[in-house]
Chain A
Amino acid sequence: MTAVGVVGFAAATAEPGDGRNDAELLAPLVSRALGDSGLAPDQIDVLGTAGSEFLGGVVGGVMGAFDAFPGWPPRTHSHLEGDGAFALYESWVRLLAGEGRAALVCAFSRPLAEDRRSVLELQHDPYTVAPLGPSAAALAALQARALIDSGRASEDDLARIVAARRPATDLATLAGQPYVASPLRALDCSTIVSGAAAVVLATEEWTGAARRPPAWITGAAHRMERRYLGARDLTSSPSTARVAGDLGIAGSDIDVLEIHAPFSHQELIIAGAVGARRIGRINPSGGALPADPVMATGLIRIGWAADAVMTGEAVRAVGHATNGPCLQHNLLVLMEAGDG
């Protein structure tokens, strides 16, 4: 089977309301990622894009983002309503299946709703959950309290995550802030922003022009848990643990782990479920907490994990992405330096 590596990555976030549309956010990132890869636009056989029309609220609005990349020559294009990390997974599978030799994966996010996080409530079960009106933060808080009640973490542990991910935040200030949904405070919940990311994947015969050595994808898999929150063990992430076992990550040494945790306590749950023997650094990029462009955040985590391998900072790195309430659906991508 051919080897596939990440050969280009660029990401940016912005305050919603800076006026750019999806294509304007994405276009310069596509140029940078392609520049890293050394590939020309017409060498891209597979295009994988992801976002959500509910973020901007205009039906068909995401179509404009496709202007960020030339539409000629015709190529395989698959658009996903979801996080771009899952589009990366699909594009990786397409390359392994021989559908092409290079893929461009893009995600873009402009959360223009007046209540930015409210869009996530559209994920809730429409029969038994949505009519009760719980916010996404309230559901995450049920998980956070269950974790604390289990004795595996404390509110102080959550505060330490916040202080680590949000520069210039000190523990004493945090403890004095009110709960938005106890035990979660506002700073425990990610700051939702605009953003976009572009990742270029190439099969081994097309990695020669890349500016940096590739981050070879040596394993990727995702699993989803039950729909009903009350039927899940919220204090662990069985789907992540299963993937980490299948990919040989559990019990091994990894240099960088990038975790997609929109809420502080979820970083603890995922780090535990990954089960590595040694983790060099967690979220050197800063993680999802300080800047969360919903639907691009997971792809950005995987991009930074790849970046750590491409720069030589890591030999073995793992990117995590999630979707759905309380870490319902989890993806791990293992990337390694080497000869492919």
Chain B
Amino acid sequence: MSADDSARRGTGPGDDSPARAPLRAPHQLALSYRRSLGRAERTFLSGLARRQIWGSRDVDGRVSVPPVDWDPETGAPSAGFVPVDERGRVDTWTWVPDPAPASPLGRPHAVALIRLNGANTSLLHLVDVDHPELMSRGMAVKADWADPSVGGIRDIRAFVPDDSGSSGDPGEATSRSAAGPGPVPADGHTGDVDHVISEVGIGYAFEPGWTLSAFLHSLAARRIVGGCCPGCAGVYVPPRPRCPACGGEPMQPRDLPGTGTVTAYTVVHIPFPGLTIDLPFTWAWIRLDGASVPFAHLLGGSGADPGLGDGAGQQVRVGLRVEPVWVDDADLAPTWESIRYFRPIGPPGAEPGDDGSGSQ
């Protein structure tokens, strides 16, 4: 297989475009969730806060660690929760020579599935040893507890080699209670850990694509270059790689004058994450003269720089004729923000249909 080049044809502005290079920008995705817990997770994580490891027992007496509320194969409810030993044996393992920056141990370590004494399934965790040569299938390990424990899987800092000789007695299920107020009843309901916070953060180098890159480059040259379908003559701003209505291609670059008409709007009064301009501001759908579809942009400025009288949408109405207000030359860049906002033009009180753009 090879990259197919045909998408390049017909995209982007004409030969007089200022630049064709595809754009790329750093982008950080961050998601923070507060996840509530079901009974099994609550029992397990509350147990860890007490330095105990709890599993669930199914109707046949098999013990799952971590515990489950229902048997994944039969759907039968678990028969109850039971403590298991903090010691066990390595089932399978791998060595991580180059851990990610967020890795809890911050140095090379093993990741392993560990069969704790008294359990019939294996728990995934880290093993903290200095060299992979120290790891082997069946090796005896024990939990090394973090201080303080807070009710999370990282309350076990890692597993470490266990030289006590007491690991590896299948069926032994003594709960070690080195700290904390005592054992959790078998119904598990006294667990006081009711959520975990999960944080996701990923860095990207985002690319908008050839078609949109060409459009953004046109903005940096004070031009608005849409795309015209050779089949149905639809004109799109921003341009699309092929006609979204009829599939026609190649799309032809089409310079548009910048004047247009408001087709819908809203006035925003409340803040939201990521807001970078002052409140209130008017956000409008604007269909440029010669275009088939509208796009969204600021109408008037915002806050203390409203550009529309009071900035609260007083003069705004559907059908309002508008034109772009560009940034200074020195601030032009391949971004929508090269247009600061759109402002009204023409005689006050002009009615929809007076714009001479026809109805498309």
Contacts and interface: CB of A to CB of B under 8 A. Distances in A.
Contact of A131 (B97, B104, B205): B104
B241 A127 contact: no
B202 A113 contact: yes
A19 B213 contact: yes
A339 interface: no
Contacts of B61: none
Contacts of A54: 29, 202
Contacts of B113: 142, 146, 229-230
Interface in A112-162: 112-115, 118-119, 122, 126-135, 138-139, 141-146, 149
Interface stretch (A65-73, A209-217, A268-276): A65-73
Given A19-B210, A23-B209, A229-B124, A135 B249 contact: no
A265 to B, nearest CB: 12
Contact of B3 (A13, A68, A183): A13
Most buried by B among A122, A138, A227: A138
Contact of B6 (A15, A28, A112, A180): A28
A122 B200 contact: yes
Interface in A283-338: 291
Given A21-B208, A178-B97, A71 B242 contact: no
A24 interface: yes
Given A41-B247, A127-B196, A135-B96, A118 B104 contact: no
Contacts of B205: 17, 112, 114
Contacts, number: 216
Contacts of A21: 207-212, 241
B7 interface: yes
Given A19-B213, A110-B207, A228 B66 contact: yes
Interface stretch (A56-64, A91-99, A167-175): A56-64
Given A23-B242, A112-B204, A114-B205, A181 B94 contact: yes
Interface residues of A, number: 74
Nearest to A28: B6
Nearest to A70: B247
Contacts of B100: 115, 118, 133, 135
Nearest to B204: A57
Contacts of A179: 95, 97
B207 A126 contact: no
19 contacts: A14-B3, A17-B205, A19-B24, A23-B242, A24-B210, A25-B7, A56-B206, A58-B206, A115-B202, A128-B41, A128-B66, A129-B153, A133-B104, A143-B92, A180-B97, A182-B95, A228-B68, A230-B122, A231-B72
Given A68-B242, A182-B132, A226-B73, 15 more contacts: A19-B207, A20-B210, A21-B209, A24-B210, A24-B241, A28-B7, A68-B241, A110-B207, A112-B204, A114-B202, A133-B103, A142-B93, A181-B95, A228-B66, A230-B124
